Amino acid sequence: MQTVGVRDLKARLSHHLDRVRAGQRLIVTEHGRPVASIQPVEESADTEWIRRLVDARRASWSGGKPKGTPRPIVAKPGKSASDIVIEDRG
């Protein structure tokens, strides 16, 4: 495990994130004392299927936030969202 000082981390963040992406775990120090760790994120099993779809080009994702539906659902006055969902299921 390697250490990196806060000042160096701030100055060369992209470089250190590349190291983490490559699998390294970094201990962040402040005045020589460990204060945090940065490590690669492990993909959870419940999102692995999404990655496989994208890799197989059966789905696409540009990395942005979802934009929502092009035709938003308009609620009827006086009805709650749960009533509309129940009505839609029927």
Q: What is the pLDDT along the chain (90 residues), one digit of tens a residue?
A: 899 999 999 999 999 999 999 999 999 999 999 999 999 988 777 778 888 888 999 888 777 777 777 787 776 678 788 888 888 887
Is the entire prediction scored with pTM above 0.85?
no
pLDDT of residue 76: 67
Q: What single DSSP character describes residue 71? A: S
29 close to 6: Cβ distance less than 8 angstroms: yes
CATH of the domain spanning 1-63? 3.40.1620.10
What amino acid is encoded at 83 in this protein?
D
User: Residue 10: how many CA atoms within 13 Å on its side-chain side?
Assistant: 5
